[in-house]
Structure formats: structure tokens, C-alpha cells
Structure 1
């Protein structure tokens, strides 16, 4: 169980590889920072997203 205020997340190997690229390219210190960075970048460009759309867009941007 994660600590209070946190949620655990299961990711495919493919997504983890993409997050590793974000960490390297943006100097994020962790996967959590990389997820936060990717989400913020995506939301800054989009007004409203469905969860599935967000996942697809993040995957496309990292490829």
C-alpha cells in the first residue's frame, strides 16, 4: 500500500521505457516527476480530455 496521499500505478514495460525517456530528456528526478511533467504538458495544450485520450496522447508524444 502506498503512503497516505499517494496512489500506486501499474505500467506496461513500454510505458516505463517512455517515462525513462522523459526523465532523461527533462531532467526529472523520478518517474513520478515524469508523469507529472507529461500530464501538465498535455493539459496545458488541451482544454478537456478523457482519461483514455490522455493516455493515448502521452504515449504518442513519447514515441
Structure 2
């Protein structure tokens, strides 16, 4: 399954509660903290809610070659 590397680039101070809670639900605790999460609908929703606070990179699935 694909994975996303999510990095918090801005503070949650002064943002609305749904954005703050989404950042926390992704496992991010401070600015420049990164986590790798699975690419699913729940995590995409969290990212969409707080897109102005986050930087997202898609990680390639190098080791999951199934022929």
C-alpha cells in the first residue's frame, strides 16, 4: 500500500479546532516533525483539513513488487 510522508510546516496556534485536531491525529507534535502514514481515506481527510499547515510527499513503494 502507498505511504505518505507528512511534515508539519506551520504552527497550529491561532487555527480552528478541526485543523489542530487533524494535525494531532496524524501524529504530528511540533513544527518540522514528520511521520509516515498509509495513504487511505481517513488520512487524506486529515490532510485536506489542515493542508495549509502541512507538507506532503508520496513515498514510492520500492519493496512491494508483486508479480
TM-score, with length taken from structure 2: 0.23
Higher strand share: 2
Higher relative contact order (CA 8 A, sep 6+): 2
TM-score with structure 1 setting the length: 0.24
